[in-house]
Amino acid sequence: MSPAALFAFVAAYFGLLLIVAWRTSRHAGNEGFFIGQRSSHWALVAFGMVGTSLSGVTFISVPGAVGANGMTYLQIVLGHVLGYAVVAFVLLPLYYRLKLTSIYRFLEVRFGPRAHRTGAAFFIGSRTLGATARLYLVIAVLQETILSRLGVPFALTAAVILLMIVLYTIEGGVKTIVWTDTLQTAGMLFGLVFCIGMLLGALSLSPTDAWARMNETGLSRIWGTDGQRADHWAKQVVAGAFIAIAMTGMDQEMMQKNISVKTLGGAQLNVMVLAFIMLAVVALFLFLGGLLSLFAREVGLPPSGDKLFPAVVMGHLPAFVQVVFILALISALFPSADGALTALTSSTCIDLLGMQQRADWSEAKKLRVRRTVHLLFAALFMALVLGFKALDDPSMIGLILKIAGYTYGPLLGLFAFGLLTRRAVVDRAVPWIALAAPLLCAAIDFNQAALFGSYRMGLELLVLNGAITFGGLWVASSALGVARARVA
C-alpha cells in the first residue's frame, strides 16, 4: 500500500482518539485529571492497563527477540503474576487506607517530606526515560515504514505524534485515558491476533503444526537452565516479580489508574485480572515471534531483532495487513505514552510543587500550572526521543529493563523499608542513600567479570539495588534505635 494511503488511515485513527478525548474530558477539572474523580470502572481500567503495561516495545521487541532467545521472556511474565499479587493485597490496601492521590505521599507519612520528594523524583526520572524509549521505537517504525517515503523528517514525525498525545490528554488526564487506553488496547490485541492468523496462512501451518516446527528449531524454549547465565529461570521469575512490584505497585502512572477505581475490592480485582490477561497476551506475542522467525528463514530475512516484524509485514504480506499492523502499532504506542505524560504531570504538580496543599493558589492558577508542566514534559519527551534515535539500540526491551534496574531500585528499597520495619530514619539522609544505591550498582554491574567470574547478573540488578537502598536506610536508622513508624 502507498505511504499516502497508510497515512490517511493513521490520520483517521488520530481523529477518533480526539473525539473520544473531547467527550470524556468535559468538566474534568484537576481531580478528574489526577485520579478520574475516583469513578473509573475496574474492568475498563484492567483492560486499558494491558496496553499501558505492554506498549509498542512489547509489540515489536518481544516477538523480535524470539529468534535469538526463544520464549524465555515468559519466565519474567510468570514472575509478574507473583508481583501483581503483592501489589493487590499489600500495597493497594495501604494506598486506599491513606486515601492517596500520589502514592509517594506514603513516603512522607512514613519518613518525611524529603523522602516524599525523593520517591517522586525517582519515579519522574524512571518513567520519563522508559516512556521515551518506548515512544522512540514506535516512532522509528512509523518513520521507516511510512513517513520517510513521504519525505517527512524524523523530528517532525516525533513532534506531530507528541502534539497529538498532548491534545487528547491535557484536559481530561486519567478521566480520558481510561477510555482511550481501552480503545487502543482493543486495537492492539486485534492486530496481534490478526497478524498471527495471516502468518499461519502464509506458512500454510495450523497452530499445532507451527508449534511443532518451533520445537524442532529451538524457538519454543522457555526455561533457562544454566545458572551462570542471566536468563536462568529462577533469576528471571524472581526478577519478574520484583519488576512488577516496582514498575506497577510503586509507579504513579500505573497506580493512579488503580486508585481511580471506586472501591479497594474493585482495584484488587483489576490487578489480578490484569496479571492473567498479561500472561496470555505475552504468550501470544511470543507465539507470533516464533511464526515471524519461521517466516524469516523461508524468505531469507534475519530471524530476530526489532526490525523483523515490520520487515515481514511491510515487505511480504498484503496491503490490508499493513493497515492493521500500523494501526495496531499506534494502539500499542499511545497507552504507554499518554499515561506516562499524565502521571509525570500529576506527580510533579502534587509531589514536587505541593499543588493540593497550596490554599493560596486559585483553581485557575492550578490549572495554568498543570498545563504548563504538561507541555514542558512533552518538550522533554521530544528531546529524549531524539537522544534515543542517536543511540539506536538494536533491542529496546533489554535497554528499558536495564534502565528500570537502576531507577526503580531505590523506590523498591524505600517502600520495602517503610512497610517491613518500624525503624525511623533521618529524613535528610534519604536522598543521599537513594542516590548512592544505583551508583554502587553501576560499579558492580560494570565489573561483573572481575567480581563474579563467569556468573552474569541480569535483571536481578533491580533486586540488588533495592537491597542496597534498604541496607543503607537500616544503617542510617541504627543510631536512632527502633522507633514506632508514623504509619501503623
pTM for the full model?
A: 0.75
Instruction: Please calculate the CA angle 372-374-376 and round it to the nearest 5 degrees.
Output: 70
Tell me whether residue 44 is in a domain. yes
* CB-based contact 467:406 (threshold 8 Å): no
> In degrees to the nearest 10, what's the CA dihedral of 443, 445, 451, 454?
-160
CATH number at residue 13: 1.20.1730.10
pLDDT tens for each residue of the chain, 488 residues long: 677 777 788 788 778 777 776 666 655 555 555 554 455 666 666 666 676 666 666 778 888 888 888 999 999 999 999 999 999 999 999 999 988 878 888 999 999 999 999 998 998 888 888 888 888 877 887 888 788 888 889 999 899 888 888 877 776 555 666 677 777 778 888 888 999 999 999 999 999 999 999 999 889 998 877 777 767 788 889 888 988 998 888 888 778 777 878 889 988 998 898 899 889 999 999 999 999 999 998 888 887 777 888 889 888 888 888 888 888 887 777 766 777 788 788 888 888 888 877 778 887 888 888 889 889 999 999 999 998 888 776 566 667 777 888 888 999 999 999 999 888 888 999 999 999 999 999 898 888 878 887 777 766 788 899 999 999 999 988 655 544 444 44
Please check whether residue 382 lies inside any domain of the structure: yes
Long-range contacts of 4-7 (CB under 8 A, 24+ apart): 4/150, 6/145, 6/146, 6/322, 6/323, 6/326, 7/146, 7/147, 7/150
Beta-carbon contacts of residue 475 (< 8 Å; ≥ 6 apart): none
d(CA 17, CA 19): 5
In a domain, 451, yes or no: no
Q: Which domain holds residue 139?
A: 3-409
As given in the structure block, the three cell numbers for residue 10 are: 493513521
In a domain, 421, yes or no: no
296 found inside a domain: yes
341 within some domain: yes
φ, ψ (nearest 5 deg) of residue 333: -70, -50
Chain-centroid distance of CA 391 in Å reads 20
Burial 38-63 (b: 16+ CB within 10 A, else e): bebebebbbbbbbbbbbbbbbbbbbb
User: Could you tell me if 34 and 342 are in contact, meaning their C-beta atoms sit under 8 angstroms apart?
Assistant: no
Residue 415's pLDDT is 94
Q: Give the count of domains, the chain.
A: 1
Residue 267 backbone class (left: φ over 0; alpha: ψ -120 to 50; beta: rest)? alpha
The answer to whether the CB of 156 falls within 8 A of the CB of 300 is no
Cell numbers 539500540 correspond to what residue?
393
Residue 116 lies in a domain: yes
**Does a structural domain hold residue 428?**
no
User: Residue 403's pLDDT is what?
Assistant: 81
